[in-house]
Amino acid sequence: MRQFIVSGHEVPTTPDFSLSDLAGGAGRLDVLCRCVSAAFFLSHAIREDVRTSLVLADEFTVRFEGSELRRLNPDERSTAALIRKALDEREEAIGHMEVETSPGVYLSRRGFEPVLAAAAEEGSVVQLHEDGDPAVAIEPPDDPVFVLSDHRDFAAREVDLLDERAAARVRLGPEAIHANHAITVAHNWLDTEGYTGY
């Protein structure tokens, strides 16, 4: 399985935001919506073997499970609607217990650390880093877990946790790119088995 964890630093944790102002009034929820789209969409299919966890302000996590998703569309607004629907049930998420809020979409009251720890148990954490190995030079790990930040840098505490958990440090290219674009490039790296299979 391919996993993506995206830490959203400037995002709502309550459902009282407008779908018509995702890049303003809703912090920068638009960034996370684009990450979900990049993680799951092929031309005429959903990537079923993908899990994407959006960490909202280190307080809630919305998990999207590719094999179970039924109502995902590629546009930002409809993805934001799924996130808002998840936050509508925030009072039901007690402790680390998850609530399924749409088919394949789960809300839990978990921050970055437990989400990363759980993913690291199941797969190999790949840290995207400007000093990492060029993607072309290494073989993609099985069950990779890519960890990304929204438009802000990772918090110092997140960097420490990543340093601790990372099985590999990878550089996807010479340019610093948006998180959703990094997800697309990571998929291409994996799809081609490290640029060897087309």
* Contacts with a copy of itself, residue ranges (CB under 8 A): 19-20, 22-23, 30-31, 34, 37-38, 41-44, 73-78, 134-137, 171-178, 181, 184-185, 187-188, 191-192, 195-198
Nearer to a copy of itself by Cβ, of 13 and 78: the residue is: 78
- Tell me the closest approach of the beta carbon of residue 174 to a copy of itself, in angstroms: 6
Q: Tell whether 56 is in a known binding site.
A: no
Nearer to a copy of itself by Cβ, of 37 and 108: the residue is: 37
Long-range CB contacts for residues 161-167, cutoff 8 Å, separation at least 24: 161/112, 161/113, 161/116, 162/116, 162/125, 162/127, 163/127, 165/116, 165/117, 165/120, 165/125, 166/125, 166/126, 166/127, 167/124, 167/125, 167/126, 167/141
> Shortest CA distance to 35 belongs to which of 178, 194, 170?
178
Strand partners, 134: 171
Nearer to a copy of itself by Cβ, of 133 and 163: the residue is: 133
Nearer to a copy of itself by Cβ, of 91 and 196: the residue is: 196
- Tell me the closest approach of the beta carbon of residue 59 to a copy of itself, in angstroms: 23
- Tell me the closest approach of the beta carbon of residue 91 to a copy of itself, in angstroms: 28
- Tell me the closest approach of the beta carbon of residue 152 to a copy of itself, in angstroms: 11
Q: Please say whether the beta carbons of 92 and 99 come within 8 A.
A: yes
Residues tagged in the binding site annotation for S-adenosyl-L-methionine: 128
